[in-house]
Structure 1
Amino acid sequence: MSLERLAAVREEARELADLFAADGYRVYLVGGIVRDAMLGLPLDAAFDLDLTTDAQPPAVKSILDGWADTLWTQGERFGTIGARRGNRRIEITTHRTERYQPGSRKPDVAFADAIEADLSRRDFTINAMAVELPDGDLVDPFGGVADLAGRRLRTPLDPEATFSDDPLRMLRAARFLAQFELSAEPPLVAATAAMADRLSIVADERIRDELDRLLALPNPLPGFSLMFETGLAERVLGVAGDGSSALERVSRAGQDPIARLAALLADVDTPADAQSALSERRAPTAVSRAVFAVLTAAGQAVDHPPRTLPELRRWVVDSGDYVGQAMAVASVLGAASSLAADVDALMETEPDLLGPPVLDGEQIMALLGLQPGPEVGAAVEELRRLRLDSGPLSPEEAREHLLRWFAR
């Protein structure tokens, strides 16, 4: 493991580091960029410079004045000054410690003089490393490099103290286990189980964002395993059935985050209960509705599998935009193994099935001499029935059928 990948970053930050040094301050590169460099991961060209310093905010603003193109100070009370120079965004935070009081969603912040004190408040040892600028000396007081090499996830302080500072870190632990293929140290697991209820003080939006990141990983199973083992799953999802069954379903549900979330919740009593649980935790309406649609369609495929071509068309159309996720979850729940092949064959021969109707409402009203109202809806539904029963229709076939139907 080395910091060679950060050579260009250090050079870019040299001028700024020299300005801090000229005023008697030290500045360090921190954050995921240090960890990722140690892991040999590629550096995103659009990275933000995340820095920490022993200079307090007034001094930071003074140093940046005239150097940065733009400054913003919304985070000044927490010690953070933001800046932009050219296309690079920079955040500079005074060394600090912070702690959440019981029942509070806002941390108490105190500034610190030493980089070691600042790193001690970080979530995990693999993130508690810093690179002094511009020379590139590594500061690693808690053994983050060794833990990366050993694939261990530990906290810099006792896990109870670290999680008390910010309970969201328990959920971040789940993500890091999955993202970096780590193993959780036993004290971390024990503290998570003991403190899972503390997640209630964390804003729902922060929990949702962390869950989204976990769902999007190539293999989220290690993270969900920790969540079910420690009781985090119930706090995050609102409901949680048998963990081993849920993990098995997720492992077979494919890569789509909505399909994975639906698979997690598939043993809830009804799709409506799953939707309600997500809504209570302020999941976006689009997500809770998508999970409801996927579980509904998957359940239909299992309980009333489509056996004829018209039934298959109806199932696909009812699944709508979520047909892919519904197929994945239906397969997990025991739908016929031929369902996916049947749907693929249908969509190849009838690619317009999920497209717009062959005649829209305006065309139907002009054809039948109707005004907006229930009769138009009935005509639209009749065309839908005919399309699903008989297959593709040309506009002329649709007009002829509607004229006959309307004349009855």
Structure 2
Amino acid sequence: MQIYKVGGAVRDRLLGRAVTETDWVVVGSSAEALAVQGFRPVGADFPVFLHPLTGEEYALARTERKSGRGYGGFTFHASPEVTLEEDLIRRDLTINAMAEDAEGHIIDPYGGQRDLAARVLRHVSPAFAEDPLRVLRVARFAARYAPLGFGIAPETQALMSEIAASGELADLSAERVWKEIERALMEPRPDLFIRVLHECGALAALLPEVAALFGVPQTPQHHPEIDTGEHVLRVLQQCAVHDQPLSVRWACLLHDLGKGLTDPRHWPQHIAHETRGLRLIGAVNNRCKVPRDCAELALLVGEYHTHSHRALELRAETLARLFQHLDLYRRPERFAQFVAACEMDARGRLGLESRAYPQADYLRRAADVARGVAVQPLLAQGFKGAALGEALKAARLAALTAFRQAQRSAP
């Protein structure tokens, strides 16, 4: 039995990056032999085991054969006769098809070190095209390693386009798609993830509502970049620059979906795109089985992001309603994420990335005023039940009215 470190752990060590998890491949052994040594199987249909002490994954060397459609359409063959080279050739990219032995020697039969040096993401073999999930994985790696100068090999891009055109992306489960999107949006260049998918045709298959934004113009005085799809990519880039959480990045990706519904006769204006986009945002959330916090924030940002941009002009009554919709008093963290997403939207415009966004501070101070209204005096006055709720609402409105007047009269 021989054990090798494989995949990302080898790749990232050679790149000088921190290794966060280690995978191993076992050559010349069997499931029964591993079980005797205390390894625990992960699943019945996949020859992967957990180490009894470290909990790291050890996979038997295996080959695979395409037997159906989608990510799960494969038959695996694991036996002591399968060689390391046979196991590595089934992997996606050359930079992920390297192994390292116990002495630190690199086994690299498919040119992974060469492509690391050249900063190229290249598929290992034509079998790459058999797994549609690899389109998303390559796009995610592009988003991760772009700061190091990596790009996708033209022949790999061509294969990705073939997969997108085949229709097999539709066979991927929502859970698998969301897992890749979730990870990719948190990479250093989430905008590149979306761009790569768009350029190979996969975005139209996976997120057609987002793909529809490319080529849709906006008013140049507000959006010097003009193209709505390009604007969304710039907003995502700002999310990464400002280290925003996943919920903010997801909301930013979907915030302008309504512009894709505008009749071209009305371009570049997009009247009521905020409310018209809610149906699309909800559909994407449901189709991708998005976690609740991400889904809810996306709907709120989609509907109210222009409220934030016009915050300094809003009447006290409108501010009060906005805070109620955002559930400010019970979920202040969601309010903070809403403001952050709106600021990323404002910064995601060509040449305006560093422009001040005073609306954010204004909304935060207004929220502090509204949240600072004490309920105790109202209780002391005898208010309770529904009457207490109405009295509290009126007191908050009065506080916001005074705040707004003070701001308008300030020099």
- TM-score, reference length from structure 1: 0.75
Match among 361, 385, 388 for residue 344 of structure 1: 361
Match of 2:381 in 1: 367
In the superposition, relative to structure 1, how do residues 264 and 346 fare at CA in structure 2: closer, same or farther (>3 Å)?
closer
In the superposition, relative to structure 1, how do residues 79 and 346 fare at CA in structure 2: closer, same or farther (>3 Å)?
closer
Match of 2:138 in 1: 173
CA displacement 1:99-125 (0-9 Å, x = unmatched):
453345533211251111100111111
- AA of the residue aligned to 2:358: A
Match of 1:192 in 2: 160
In structure 1, the gaps of 5 or more residues are 1-24, 66-70, 393-408
Match of 1:391 in 2: 403
- TM-score, reference length from structure 2: 0.75
Match of 1:60 in 2: 34
Separation in 2, partners of 1:331, 1:49: 40
Match of 1:396 in 2: none
Separation in 2, partners of 1:382, 1:311: 10
CA displacement 1:40-72 (0-9 Å, x = unmatched):
11234xx3453332211111222x24xxxxx42
Match of 2:212 in 1: 241
Tell me the CA shift for residue 152 of structure 1: 0.9
Match among 283, 287, 291 for residue 284 of structure 1: 291
Tell me the CA shift for residue 190 of structure 1: 1.8
Contact 2:6-2:22 within 8 A present in 1 as well:
no
Q: Please state whether the residue corresponding to 1:122 is helix, strand or coil.
A: coil
CA displacement 1:236-264 (0-9 Å, x = unmatched):
32412244642343324432244443343
Q: Please state whether the residue corresponding to 1:178 is helix, strand or coil.
A: helix
Match of 1:327 in 2: 343
Tell me the CA shift for residue 323 of structure 1: 1.4
Q: Please state whether the residue corresponding to 2:4 is helix, strand or coil.
A: strand
Contact 2:63-2:86 within 8 A present in 1 as well:
yes
Match of 2:10 in 1: 34
Match of 2:93 in 1: 124
Q: Please state whether the residue corresponding to 1:117 is helix, strand or coil.
A: helix
In the superposition, relative to structure 1, how do residues 352 and 264 fare at CA in structure 2: closer, same or farther (>3 Å)?
closer
Alignment of 1:295-334 (within 5 A): 295-302=302-309, 306-307=312-313, 310=316, 314=320, 317=323, 320-321=335-336, 322-332=338-348
Coordinate RMSD, CA, aligned: 3.1
In structure 2, the gaps of 5 or more residues are 215-226, 259-275, 327-334, 405-411
Q: Which has more radius of gyration?
A: 1
Tell me the CA shift for residue 364 of structure 1: 4.0
Alignment of 1:358 onto 2:355: no
Contact 1:57-1:79 within 8 A present in 2 as well:
yes
Match of 1:92 in 2: 58
- AA of the residue aligned to 1:386: A
- AA of the residue aligned to 1:93: A
In the superposition, relative to structure 1, how do residues 96 and 26 fare at CA in structure 2: closer, same or farther (>3 Å)?
same
CA displacement 1:356-380 (0-9 Å, x = unmatched):
64217xx74563253x33x333223
Match of 1:219 in 2: 189
Match among 254, 257, 261 for residue 268 of structure 1: 257
- Equivalent residues, number: 348
Contact 2:194-2:233 within 8 A present in 1 as well:
no
Match of 2:112 in 1: 144
% identical equivalent positions: 24
Tell me the CA shift for residue 315 of structure 1: 8.2
